[in-house]
Amino acid sequence: MRVVTERIPTLKSVTVGVWVNTGSRDEQPSQAGYSHFIEHMLFKGTHKRSSAEISREIDALGGEMNAFTSRETTTYYVKVLDQQVHRAVELLSDLFHHSRFAPKEIEKEKEVVLEEIRMVLDDPEDLVQELHSSLVLGHHQLGRPILGREKTIRTLHQQDLLRYRDIHYDPAQTVIAIAGNFDQARIDPMVARYFGKVRAKTNQANGRRSPAVHGGLLLRKKRLEQVHLCLGLKGIAAGHTDRYALYALNNVLGGSVSSRLFQEIREKRGLAYSIYSFLSGYSDSGMITIYAATRAKEVDRVVELVCREIRRIGTKGVEGKELERAKTQMKGSLMLSLESSHSRMSKLAKDELTHGRHISLEDMLIQIDRVSEEQVCNVGRQFFQLDSLAITGLGPLVSNSLSAYR
pLDDT at position 201: 67
Average pLDDT (20-35) is: 97
What's residue 197's pLDDT?
75
**pLDDT value at 57 more than 60:** yes
Active-site positions?
39
**pLDDT > 70 in the chain, percent:** 96
The set of residues, in sequence order, having a beta carbon less than 8 Å from that of 210 and lying 6+ positions away, is 284, 285
What pLDDT is recorded for position 404?
67
User: Which pLDDT belongs to residue 324?
Assistant: 96
Q: How many residues does the chain have?
A: 406
Task: Give the pLDDT score at 256.
Answer: 94
What are the angstrom distances between the C-alpha of 254 and each of 251, 307, 405?
6, 12, 22
pLDDT, tens digit (0-9, with 9 covering 90-100), for 59-110: 998 999 999 999 999 999 999 999 999 999 999 999 999 999 999 999 999 9
Percent of the chain with pLDDT over 90: 94
Mean pLDDT along residues 306-334? 96
Please tell me the distance from the alpha carbon of residue 234 to that of residue 215, in angstroms, as a whole number.
9
pLDDT at 267 over 70: yes
Compute the Cα dihedral for 128, 244, 347, 4 and give only its sign: positive
Q: State the Cα–Cα distance between residues 140 and 402, nearest whole angstrom.
A: 26
pLDDT at 174 over 80: yes
Distance of alpha carbon 45 from alpha carbon 102, whole angstroms: 8
Give the whole-angstrom CA distance, residue 380 versus residue 371: 13
Nearest to residue 323, comparing CAs of 388, 371, 288? 371
Average pLDDT over residues 378-405: 87
Residue 64 Cα distances to 77, 177, 229, 278, 344, angstroms: 8, 16, 35, 28, 16
At 193-222, the pLDDT tens digits run 999 877 666 555 557 999 999 999 999 999
Provide the β-strand partners of residue 137: none
pLDDT at 128 over 90: yes
Q: Which residues have CB under 8 Å from 16's CB, separation 6+?
A: 77, 78, 79, 85, 88, 89, 92, 176, 177, 178, 345
Give the whole-angstrom CA distance, residue 218 versus residue 91. 46
The per-residue pLDDT for range 327-386, each reduced to its tens digit, is 999 999 999 999 999 999 999 999 999 999 999 999 999 999 999 999 999 999 999 999
Q: Per-residue pLDDT averaged across 303-315, rounded?
A: 97
Three-state SS string across the chain, please?
CEEEEEECCCCCEEEEEEEECCCHHHCCHHHCCHHHHHHHHCCCCECCCCHHHHHHHHHHCCCEEEEEECCCCEEEEEEEEHHHHHHHHHHHHHHHHHECCCHHHHHHHHHHHHHHHHHHHHCHHHHHHHHHHHHHHCCCHHHCCCCCCHHHHHHCCHHHHHHHHHHHCCHHHEEEEEEECCCHHHHHHHHHHHHCCCCCCCCCCCCCCCCCCCCEEEEEECCCCCEEEEEEEECCCCCCCCHHHHHHHHHHHCCCCCCHHHHHHHHHCCCCCCEEEEEEECCCCEEEEEEEEECHHHHHHHHHHHHHHHHHHHHHCCCHHHHHHHHHHHHHHHHHHCCCHHHHHHHHHHHHHHHCCCCCHHHHHHHHHHCCHHHHHHHHHHHCCHHHCEEEEEECCCCCCCHHHC
Residue 325 in this model has a pLDDT that exceeds 90: yes
- pLDDT higher than threshold 60 for residue 45: yes
pLDDT of residue 103: 97
Whether 294 shows a pLDDT value over 60: the answer reads yes
Q: Average pLDDT for residues 161-190, to the nearest whole number?
A: 96
Residue 38 pLDDT more than 70? yes
The pLDDT of 33-45, averaged and rounded, is 98
pLDDT level of residue 402 (50, 70, 90 thresholds): confident
CA distance 208 to 285: 12
* 113-140: average pLDDT: 97
What is the predicted pLDDT for the residue at 191? 96
- Residue 124 has a pLDDT of 98
Contacts (Cβ under 8 Å, ≥6 apart) of 59: none
The pLDDT of residue 248 is 97
Full set of structural domains in the chain with CATH: 2-195 (3.30.830.10), 216-405 (3.30.830.10)
